[in-house]
A and B are shown apart, each in its own frame.
Chain A
Amino acid sequence: MGKTLFDKIWERHIVKQIDNGPAVFYIDRHFIHEVTSPQAFNGLDKRGVKVFRPQQTIATADHNVPTLNQHLPIKDLLSRQQVDALIQNCNNHGIELYGLGHPNQGIVHVIGPELGITQPGMTIVCGDSHTSTHGAFGNIAFGIGTSEVEMVLATQCLLQSKPKLMRITIDGELQKGVLSKDIVLYILSKISSSGATGHAIEFEGSAIRNLSMEARMTICNMSIEMGGRCGLIAPDETTFEYLKDKPFAPKNDEWGKALTEWEKLFSDEDAVFDKEILINAAEIPPMITYGTNPGMGIGVNENIPTAESVSETDKKGLTASLEYMGLDAGMPIKGKKIDYVFIGSCTNSRIEDLRLVADFVKGKQKAKEVEVWIVPGSKQVEKQAINEGLDVIFQASGFRLRQPGCSACLGMNEDKIPAGKYCISTSNRNFEGRQGAGARTLLASPLTAAAAAISGEVMDVRDLL
């Protein structure tokens, strides 16, 4: 029987199999940020242990940073202390830190790929659930808790049990105005936010092959929202082309050698998955969420479900969600007035996202009552956007390009959506209070968000293209 892509990478990273227990699993790359690492370093210090392989860990500050005036000290004392603790810990243990002010700083899942640190065939972890993003390069990448961060710092290993395997095949052509964010929101609406729990998900099919690396990252990013342990896409020419000449990509002879290895990374014809799902790309509309988990999504032209239209167990959840969201069952979502637009987060804050938005809003004006935040995923993205003059386009439309960070994705730093307000957001989570206590989030693609920025309401971006 053939092997899956996941099997091939998994097997290569087993240090040892514990009888009747998990495997000792070797980690190639480890990313850390300020929020989930301090307790891990405390643990090491308590044990009197140094970081085992400091060159394999890279740090950045992203969750707690302001996105305006980054040259000034962070106002919030606790946030500042956390960022300072990261600096201190990285110094003590010899870890490379791309902190505030560094040209490589940015959201951890944006900088890994853009610097070429993320590569095919690797095992990658971070104390952050959206580590699944990196799987777009054909590697095993997953989020871990702080105790596990400590394990990786101390030994470069984790104890892991092999997950089940699921394949989601998306074939066919996408409609105009439909982006990879719509693909993943559509899958979520079909299989729910627990539909892939316990599984590693491989995404395949012609629609995936036709996507850019950045668009692929958006899909893998949200595989955790289905409960997936990780999401991965076999590397191909698009992957190699993207990685070539990136600062940390293999150079000269090493590049050729790496390529030979990477080309072996795909699921064999006769590989067997525990679960298979097939999706026709042409059926996918621009999507939007109406509820409080990412599985609660519909096409922008559809009506919000009614209690009668959902299963018995989903009824209670639906009622509670709609109450929180202040939305009515059975009503159209199109035309819903919006207060905030957030374009950013590790799901959609890369240069292609900003280009799409700029291209769309060029020559148009922002709706008066809407507040729009455009937050690049990294310093590099910010620089590129400015080089291409995107900031000028945004400005002319009445928006402002802010500075890189997680921003309004999680209601932790200064950028929060006020209670009761509606925010159309390109991020990945619409949980209660995710963007600030009482905030109401509608997840959508950068194009659908840009359309709302212009019109002040939810609309079908296809009508404007």
Chain B
Amino acid sequence: MHLITQKINIIHSRFVPLNIENVDTDQIIPARFLKATTREGFGKNLFRDWRFENDDEMKPKNGFVLNDNNYGGEILVAAKNFGCGSSREHAAWALQDFGFKAVVSSFFADIFKNNALNNGVLPVTVSESFLRSIFALNENESLLIDLEKQQISIPSKGLSENFDINAYKKNCLLNGYDDIDYLISIKEDIIQYEQSIV
């Protein structure tokens, strides 16, 4: 099997708190930036309309967390129902291209979750109370995500919580495996299935 994504296991990093519910993929990347025919370069338009004043000037908007130098890191933390709306995988590409390796929320929309997993961006679902503990941290603290153990922790507070991930997907991420290679490898089964239903 060839590797499509970076292997993921431990992510230990500071985080960017985006305490907004129902962040839809139109915000993550607006439709007018979906015209590319390759997967690269979407990071510069991540949260475009929240980040910049308008298209002509590209002046950073005050008060948006990605423009706040106090925050940074490889983990985005968002309030519930992250990634709802359009199925555009460009949202996952933009997050990855910008440098995020994981997104933490109390609730992910289905299609986004799959898209993230297929691009080596780990969606970590935590309880509402754990999410509140993260949002209460100051900007210098970090989070530790251990995929093997399926655990996310706030080291400075000695807090941790386990998260769910489908065993198959976990194995893919740990090893950098790709679903398409797997599906191609079982083509005989697929052909047999097709013959069995006619």
- Say yes or no: is B142 at the interface (Cβ < 8 Å to chain A): no
Chain A nearest CB: distance from B90 CB in Å? 8
How many pairs of A and B residues are in contact by the CB < 8 Å rule?
176
Contacts A151-B180, A412-B31: A437 and B49 contacting too (C-beta < 8 A)?
A: yes
Chain B residues positioned under 8 Å from A146 (CB to CB): 89-90, 115
Per-position contact with B for A144-167: 1 when CB-CB < 8 Å, else 0? 111110110011110101010000
- Say yes or no: is B55 at the interface (Cβ < 8 Å to chain A): yes
Chain B residues positioned under 8 Å from A395 (CB to CB): none
- Say yes or no: is B136 at the interface (Cβ < 8 Å to chain A): no
User: In the complex, what distance in Å separates the CA atom of A410 from the CA atom of B37?
Assistant: 18
Chain A residues positioned under 8 Å from B190 (CB to CB): 15, 24, 26, 52, 155-157
* A433 in contact with B39 (CB, 8 Å): no
User: In the complex, what distance in Å separates the CA atom of A194 from the CA atom of B180?
Assistant: 30
Binds B, one of A75-83, A262-270, A342-350, A364-372: A75-83
- Say yes or no: is B189 at the interface (Cβ < 8 Å to chain A): yes
* A22 in contact with B166 (CB, 8 Å): yes
- Say yes or no: is A279 at the interface (Cβ < 8 Å to chain B): no
Binds A, one of B10-18, B69-77, B104-112, B148-156: B104-112
Chain A residues positioned under 8 Å from B21 (CB to CB): 313, 316-317
From the candidates B35, B110, B166, name the one contacting A227 in the complex (CB within 8 A).
Answer: B110
Contacts A38-B37, A145-B118, A147-B115: A159 and B26 contacting too (C-beta < 8 A)?
A: no
B117's closest neighbor in chain A, by CB?
A: A147
- Say yes or no: is B32 at the interface (Cβ < 8 Å to chain A): yes
* B27 in contact with A431 (CB, 8 Å): yes
Residues 148 to 198 of chain B near chain A (Cβ within 8 Å): 166-169, 179-180, 182-184, 186-187, 189-190, 193-194, 197
Contacts A293-B22, A429-B26: A194 and B87 contacting too (C-beta < 8 A)?
A: no
Chain B residues positioned under 8 Å from A434 (CB to CB): 26, 31
* B27 in contact with A194 (CB, 8 Å): no
Chain A residues positioned under 8 Å from B99 (CB to CB): none
Per-position contact with B for A120-141: 1 when CB-CB < 8 Å, else 0? 0000000111000000000000
* B34 in contact with A143 (CB, 8 Å): no
Chain A nearest CB: distance from B170 CB in Å? 9
Interface size on A, residues (CB 8 A): 66
* B114 in contact with A431 (CB, 8 Å): no
B128's closest neighbor in chain A, by CB?
A: A313
Residues 223 to 258 of chain A near chain B (Cβ within 8 Å): 227, 229
Binds B, one of A41-49, A351-359, A444-452, A455-463: A41-49
Residues 62 to 84 of chain B near chain A (Cβ within 8 Å): 80-81, 84
Q: 5 closest Cβ contacts across the A-B interface?
A: A21-B168, A145-B89, A78-B35, A38-B37, A145-B115
Apart from A26-B193, A52-B187, list 15 A-B contacts with CB within 8 A. Answer: A15-B189, A20-B166, A22-B166, A38-B37, A39-B37, A194-B107, A197-B107, A197-B109, A293-B24, A293-B84, A316-B21, A412-B32, A431-B26, A433-B27, A437-B32
Q: Identify the B interface with A (CB < 8 A).
A: 20-22, 24, 26-27, 30-32, 34-39, 49, 54-55, 80-81, 84-90, 92, 107, 109-111, 114-115, 118-119, 166-169, 179-180, 182-184, 186-187, 189-190, 193-194, 197
Q: Identify the A interface with B (CB < 8 A).
A: 12, 15-16, 18, 20-22, 24, 26, 35-36, 38-39, 42-43, 47, 49, 52, 63-64, 76, 78-79, 81-82, 85, 127-129, 142-148, 150-151, 154-157, 159, 161, 163, 193-194, 197-198, 227, 229, 293, 313, 316-317, 320, 410-412, 429, 431-434, 437-438
